Amino acid sequence: MKTFIRFAALGLALFPLAATAATSQVNYANINTTVKDNLGNPLTAGGNPNGDGAIIQIGYFSGSTATFTGNWIAISGLGSANPTLLTSVGDGGNSSNLGQFASGVTFDTVLNSSLPSGGTQLAMRFYNGTTISGSTYYNTVTSSNVNWQFKTPSTPAPLPAALDMDTSTLVWQGGSATAFTTAILIPEPATAMLGLVGGLLLLRRRRG
């Protein structure tokens, strides 16, 4: 039985740590339900290695992750600020685990960038492809569950955050009707540009 009388002076500040990299881990799991594409097909799990299935990005919004406002800042997965930290469907399993995953990713304050501050609510974005350029649809999910909050990196590492889709109350960027589905169309660059030009023209016309 451990006792802590040796720590009777608790409350005094801990010694500062050296410039050793601090880390924070985020686990992500979806075991009981299948994430599908907009056509109802389960997202590909790739092969046996982690990171080669349909893209998952872990990230947060610059405004509010809870309401999906501001810019999406991806910190793991292809197309993120840290593209070597691959996160994808099928991680922790094999090619038969379509639409499922159970794995973790560790963020390092020296090696990785765009990490949020401790307590920031995280989200996961799913793509219907294994490359960003080859994807046409996505969706983003988050939860107000405390386990979805990023932990401040430290040495030793804090216990991981847990993006657990099996039991958390989930909120989907596309609305509840799009749960577990990549239902949001990714605007093609040309389409996006047309929309932007159209908006500018409309604005100019109103001012005129």
Partner 1 sequence: MKAFFPLPFLLLGMLAPVGAQDTATSPIVGYSTITVPGNGALTALSVTFNKPVEFASTATSFSATGLTCTSATWTTSQWVGKLACIENAAGAEEAFLITANTATGLTLTSSFSLNARYAANAKFTIKSAHTVGSLFGTTNAEVVFQTGDSTTADVLYLWDGAQYVSYYHNGTIWRRSNSLNTAANDVVFPDDGFFVLRRAASSLALTFSGEIPQKAQSTTIPGGAQTTVASRFPVDTTISQMGFQSLTGWLNGTSSTGDRVYLWENNSYTVFWWNGTNWRKSTSLNNADTSVIPANSFMFVVRESAGAAAGAAAVHSLPYSIN
- In the bound state with partner 1, the residue whose beta carbon lies nearer, of 42 and 104, is 104
Select the residue interacting with partner 1 from 21, 192, 193, 196 (CB under 8 A): 21
- In the bound state with partner 1, the residue whose beta carbon lies nearer, of 29 and 86, is 29
Q: Does an H or E element contain 206, and which? A: helix 189-207
Tell me the site size for partner 1, rule CB under 8 A: 46
* Phi/psi of residue 194, nearest 5 degrees: -60, -40
101 is an interface residue for partner 1 by CB under 8 A: yes
Listed residue (27, 142, 165) closest to 91, CA to CA: 27
Give CA–CA dist 82/205, Å, rounded.
42
CA distances from 12 to 15, 17, 98, 157 (A): 9, 15, 50, 21
CB 55 within 8 Å of CB 65:
no
Bridging pattern class, strands 72-74 and 56-61: antiparallel
Binding mask 27-66 for partner 1 (x = CB under 8 A): x-x-x-----------------------------------
142 is an interface residue for partner 1 by CB under 8 A: no
Select the residue interacting with partner 1 from 34, 38, 79, 102 (CB under 8 A): 102
C-beta of 3: minimal distance to partner 1 in Å? 4
CB 69 within 8 Å of CB 63:
yes
Binding mask 147-186 for partner 1 (x = CB under 8 A): x-------xxx-xx-x-x-xxx------------------
CA distances from 196 to 61, 64, 188 (A): 22, 24, 12
Select the residue interacting with partner 1 from 34, 42, 79, 92 (CB under 8 A): 92
Q: Which residues bind partner 1 (CB under 8 A)?
A: 1-7, 9-21, 23, 25, 27, 29, 31, 92-93, 97, 100-104, 106, 145, 147, 155-157, 159-160, 162, 164, 166-168
